[in-house]
Amino acid sequence: MAQVVDGVDSGRDVCRVHPEAMTLLGVRAWEPVELRGDGGGVAAALVGHLDWQARRDLCVIDPLLAENLGVSDGARVV
């Protein structure tokens, strides 16, 4: 689930996910990943860690990345 946040990662093509999700996906911090949004958009991003207390299904992205993916807050991102 996308959470769109305008903050420190804005404009850097970063998506942040829970560390356990990174393990399940087989990716390490700062590796490139391909994101696909419900809106039909596709974008490349670097993956970074979220805090351990965060929801495990979150993908935190900035407004520009959300626009490129065609998604808004709460949308599905793969």
Q: What is the pLDDT of residue 13?
A: 93
Model pTM? 0.89
Question: For residue 36, what are its two tokens?
Answer: 């696909």
Average pLDDT over residues 44-48: 96
Which stretches of the chain are DSSP H helices?
19-25, 63-69
Average pLDDT, rounded, for the chain: 93
pLDDT interval class at 38 (50, 70, 90): confident
Residue 52 to residue 35: CA distance in whole angstroms: 22
Question: Percent of the chain, pLDDT > 70?
Answer: 100
Residue type, 22: M
pLDDT in tens, 58-78: 999 999 999 999 999 999 999
